[in-house]
Chain A
């Protein structure tokens, strides 16, 4: 007699399981690099340049060496460091390669550049020693503006680039001039976006220890990219790659800032090699972070667009300048922002005629690097500004104009003018849902009511965007670098007791990847979520992963986890079938038990299968090797575009310029969702960072190259008092990868610039060309429009 199988275990994916990270992070038991203490560990403080551009004429370390507790002082000319340079490489034609020393040699190129490092018993004594380092400078003319005319450049930042341009590229499709000539209207805009940065709550941190007997270096680092760090360090330190172990334990936020290998990191490792057996620790403070961790988003766009009378976008012509800062960020290069800007400027809109010249320009400011959304918060702002100008010129509804030009499902796969292939087509679905959730009609009515009857002016802003996520080898992040970031690996190991350990190449800085990988493996393998433990962030444990950037890990690391789980499931079932003399095709693995089709009772547990595999080789059937594990790589080849729409209703106080956010709606296509609460958390957090960049965060240099926003009293990050309630919705069109997910880490940052600026324009009938939008800038705009 047959019985029906038991109801399948609830699958882990798609449910808001408790995050595996939470128990330790909520109880103060996290393991951050900042917390790490090793026996006889010493501490490092860097001496930083007070000048933006200067020759170093002398460095006197004698007083520092006399300071209590100080054991060593290193400068750029120290034999341990003198021959090493970070050189961000790219095969892009015309790219000018430049060197970045671990500690400045001969000259300094930005205020905050590390010039010397002091090693002492604790951070207090290291800072005492740093005060005793006497550096003499001969000032050079600084250049802080990336769009200065060439005659303004007196002293180039790098001799190799006399015009300060490290890279320039033109994207071309169709015939822009001919299309503009046929356009019913042509609109011009010139916009700039404000320099700001990631500012994770845990600043950069590293501990390096070198064992000379076996030439092994261990580097604990709050990095997003431990495997890239290991590869790059092997070359820089001249060590076999297998002799380097990079460990990224709990990391207190990253957002791209920690996807960079910094000169301070390399200096720390080189100093550790010069002081074998002594663990050296560097934890930066916030002032150092603001000065010298990578910045982003200081761009200028000169734009022209042509539209047909029915609103069709015919042509876009653009010139863009991205401030790359003093060094070509390692290893991503100064191309990271300009190439992303040129590649994705046109966003979710169909376009045949496109010409865009982008430049990465070096200046005497802190280097620019990857920051959540790389360049696209700026390009979405630029593109949506063009759409709003087009709508005004055509006297067309701005949303109708956008809708007229969206890439639709029928257009998929759509080859963008930059030749990137869009697989989404969910823009209109996101737009429809966002408009309904937002209640556009109601807000328009309220706007009219206020215009007629008084009240604070109210504006509605919109941003439609595509987030290019999970880039495979054909669309890999980075400009023709020495590595292609398309793949990750995952190993799934069934332990002798039947529990599962996953060795994943992903890294986590708060995204909950331990949880997400455990969910994916639990379902692919057929065990419970609780039976899975995930190890990440240690290059000696997991095989390979490029790390956290480009919203890639759920797609690529998740794909590898799924494939590895399926593979080991197959192995376990094959062994179970042989042990129970049952046909393997009739077996199923659920909740850690093996079932025969049609039977309610398990025929063998995974634990027993594992026990045989490891401990009872006498029971192993012919042809089976001991052990139960497997490793798989995954590469999506192209990538998954994720569509998104954000709408905001904002009001503006005519007396003070104060900005009030009344409603904020976001609808994104995250594909199939593994953990709904984590996904919404990524979206909410990225919107908050986007709002920060749009309204508050601004790293300001004066003309001499001094950072004038060097503390959190001047550099304003939004709090719970500023970020409004956020309404998040989903359109879920599964992507063509093993788990069906689309990346979700960055999209939220892309629209707030456009939403806030668009709302100001809508409320006040003005054009907003420069960010951030602040009460002062709104007040100034209001003076121009009110009598």
Chain B
């Protein structure tokens, strides 16, 4: 089936089997391998992306369901000139990543959190990020990073 998607602002037309997952379409048809697969049954959160403003498990969605959708993936986070997004910057500074396998999903979940709640508490961050499994960090650095990025974003947009 022919579908069209807008991914990180760029329009793509792809021909997919109806059973093809959105994650496979992104990774293999569009070459956007930043979205990782950790369990392929919707638990680990590694494949989390933002579809039409909402966080989604790309392994649980068929590509055809995303026809016409606007999708944000980790590849779209940094600015065009390579400047890291405040979340990426904070993950690096706070050691919120080690192997990097869960990281794209963590970043996209955190992106949605900060888009909807500019000043979440640590407990709130822990609760909201609890749909994503990290096997390396023990979560301390991730919670630190999201908290720190939220503060940075508030500085950048003081009117918010």
Contacts and interface: CB of A to CB of B under 8 A. Distances in A.
Residues of A in contact with B, size category: 35 or more
Nearest to B17: A124
A268 B126 CA distance: 41
A27 B74 contact: yes
Interface string B25-62: 00110011111111111011010000000000000000
Contacts of A21: 100
A18 interface: yes
B138 A26 contact: no
A721 B92 CA distance: 22
- Chain A CB within 10 A, most for which of B40, B77, B107: B40
A711 B126 CA distance: 23
A198 B99 CA distance: 14
Contacts of B40: 285-287
A22 B38 CA distance: 20
Given A252-B100, A685-B136, A28 B46 contact: no
B120 interface: no
Interface stretch (A332-340, A496-504, A712-720): A712-720
Contact of A719 (B97, B98, B133): B133
Contacts of A23: 84, 92
A25 B136 contact: no
B38 A201 contact: yes
Interface in A195-214: 198-203
A32 interface: yes
Interface stretch (A81-89, A303-311, A620-628, A676-684): A676-684
B39 A27 contact: no
Interface stretch (A169-177, A269-277, A506-514): A506-514
Interface string B95-129: 10111111110010000000000000010011101
A688 B139 contact: yes
A201 B107 contact: no
B141 to A, nearest CB: 6
User: Which of A124, A680, A712 neighbours the largest number of chain B CB atoms within 10 Å of its CB?
Assistant: A712
A686 B125 CA distance: 21
B141 A202 contact: no
B15 interface: no
Contacts of A722: 130
Contact of B136 (A30, A32, A681, A721): A681
B138 A687 contact: yes
A720 B126 contact: yes
B130 to A, nearest CB: 4
Interface string A346-374: 00000000000000000000000000000
Main secondary structure of the interface of B (DSSP, over half): loop
Contacts of B130: 719-722
A310 B46 CA distance: 54
A27 B84 contact: yes
B133 to A, nearest CB: 5
A719 B143 CA distance: 11
B37 A26 contact: no
Contact of A34 (B37, B75, B131): B37
Contacts of B138: 681, 684-688, 723, 726, 748
Q: Which residue among A18, A19, A250, A253 has the maximum number of chain B CB atoms within 10 Å of its CB?
A: A253
Contacts of B98: 253, 510-512, 681, 685
B36 to A, nearest CB: 7
B140 A30 contact: no
Interface in A299-331: none
A124 B17 CA distance: 10
A201 B77 contact: no
Interface centre among B24, B75, B103 (most CB of A within 10 A): B103
Given A720-B126, A721-B126, A27 B134 contact: no
A26 B19 CA distance: 30
B95 A510 contact: no
Nearest to B39: A286
A35 interface: yes
A510 B103 CA distance: 11
B133 A255 contact: no
A517 interface: no
Nearest to A16: B95
A711 B136 contact: no
Given A27-B88, A720-B143, 4 more contacts: A30-B33, A201-B102, A511-B98, A720-B127
**Which are the 7 A-B pairs with shortest beta-carbon distances?**
A28-B34, A510-B99, A252-B101, A25-B100, A684-B138, A510-B98, A688-B138
Interface of B: 17, 19-20, 24, 27-28, 31-41, 43-44, 46, 73-75, 77-78, 84, 88, 91-93, 95, 97-104, 107, 122, 125-127, 129-143
